[in-house]
Amino acid sequence: MRRDYAGVPAVSGVSFELHRGQVLGFLGANGAGKSTTLRMLTGSLAPTAGEVRVGGFVLQDQPIPAKAMIGYLPEHPPLYPELTVGEYLRYAARLRRVAAPAVSEAVDLACQRCDLLDHRRQLIRHLSKGFQQRVGIAQAIVHNPAIVILDEPTVGLDPIQIRGIRRLIQSLGQDHGVILSSHLLGEIQAVCSHVLIIHGGRSVYAADLTELDQPSAGVTLLLHLAAPPPVDTLRQLDGVTAAESLGDGRFRMCHSGGDASAEVLVRTACEQGWRLTAIQTESRSLEQVFIELTLGAETHAA
């Protein structure tokens, strides 16, 4: 997809697929083009080039059937505080063209999934922030869409409320394709199955999150040595591509020896009397990937 403003591209290279059963974390720094992309995905902004296809329907050409397959929770939920939860969800269901005989059942199911059954007769204004957010998610799923798009759904919630919303998102991911836009890297890694990072209006990383646990070029190891040698000695070991001291006998070492690298270093430490007390493989975190792709790109551009 591409979107220009006054001839200047705000989004110029974002492309991905999403299937039922997947929860896609959508990440990008401020100004990366996230909001513009979400507006195109929900049909409120037409792309300058490219298309959004939902369940075989092109959103620009067939907006009614395409939008019927999309549920959306914006960052600021469109709630009517003077209505009860039940009244609001019935209203949302009719807006979503749910057939009149099926509205009550659709509202009950949305309330059940969002843990709102005991709150249907309460005014929305009297609900806590966490339950208001659940009402916002309920309106996004009341018509049983194929795709659910959630924009910053845990902003302003306390830790207990955040845990509840995260569990709800994970449950939604079993029956829908979910796009979760968030600036919280820990939240993406805890909830999502896949991740898409955009920078400068382009996709720069798209992967299954399990790939973060798979070493690509070598292995990074964290060691603690009670009688450590100078760090230059570690750098000169066979297979070691980089080594740095973390202080107090702790070291981070990059080794090209694959899965056997830990065994090699343990043997060497024993032979040299370095008194190895701990060794572990360091997983590549989503934060590391994000910083490398965004901060690294800005440094290169500068």
- For the stretch 53-89, pLDDT in tens is 999 999 999 999 999 999 999 999 999 999 999 999 9
pLDDT band at 287 (very low <50, low <70, confident <90, very high): confident
Residue 298, pLDDT score: 52
Contact 4, 13 (CB under 8 A): no
Q: How many CB atoms lie within 10 A of CB 164?
A: 18
Q: Give the start-to-end residue ranges of the domains of the chain.
A: 3-208, 216-281
For the chain, the straight-line distance linking the first and the last C-alpha, in angstroms and rounded, comes to: 26
Tell me, yes or no, if the pTM score tops 0.85: no
Second CATH level (architecture) for the domain 3-208: 3-Layer(aba) Sandwich (3.40)
Say yes or no to pLDDT of 302 above 50.
no
- Selected residue with higher pLDDT from 226 and 286: 226
Lowest mean pLDDT among 181-195, 207-221, 277-291: 207-221
Residue 220, pLDDT score: 80
Spatial distance between the Cα atoms of 236 and 81, rounded to a whole number of angstroms: 67
For the segment 161-188, the average pLDDT, to the nearest whole number, is: 93
- Residue 299 token pair: 């440094």
Residue 242, pLDDT score: 85
Spatial distance between the Cα atoms of 132 and 128, rounded to a whole number of angstroms: 6
Say yes or no to pLDDT of 217 above 70.
no
Residue 207, pLDDT score: 87
Pick the CATH number of 216-281 from 3.40.50.740, 3.40.309.10, 3.30.70.100, 1.10.10.10: 3.30.70.100
pLDDT band at 218 (very low <50, low <70, confident <90, very high): low
- Selected residue with higher pLDDT from 295 and 23: 23
Spatial distance between the Cα atoms of 156 and 118, rounded to a whole number of angstroms: 23
Residue 292, pLDDT score: 74
- Nearest of 282, 75, 288 to residue 197 by alpha carbon: 288
Contact 172, 148 (CB under 8 A): yes
Residue 138, pLDDT score: 98
Q: Residue 299, SS3? A: helix
Residue 194, pLDDT score: 95
For the segment 256-264, the average pLDDT, to the nearest whole number, is: 73
Spatial distance between the Cα atoms of 166 and 137, rounded to a whole number of angstroms: 12
Say yes or no to pLDDT of 30 above 90.
no
pLDDT in tens, 98-141: 999 999 999 999 999 999 999 999 999 999 999 999 999 999 99
Strand bridging mode 23-27 / 194-199: parallel
C-alpha neighbours within 13 Å on the C-beta side of residue 206: 10
β-partners of residue 8 are 5
Contact 147, 177 (CB under 8 A): yes
| Residues belonging to the chain | 302
- Per-residue 3-state assignment (H helix, E strand, C coil) for 235-273: HCCCCEEEEEEEECCEEEEEECCHHHHHHHHHHHHHHHC
pLDDT band at 210 (very low <50, low <70, confident <90, very high): confident
Q: Residue 269, SS3? A: helix
E strand or H helix at 40: helix 34-41
Strand bridging mode 147-151 / 240-247: unpaired
Spatial distance between the Cα atoms of 134 and 85, rounded to a whole number of angstroms: 10
Residue 122, pLDDT score: 98
Q: What is the mean pLDDT of the chain?
A: 90
Q: How many CB atoms lie within 10 A of CB 301?
A: 7
Residue 214, pLDDT score: 52
Lowest mean pLDDT among 83-87, 167-171, 212-216, 274-278: 212-216
Spatial distance between the Cα atoms of 55 and 112, rounded to a whole number of angstroms: 26
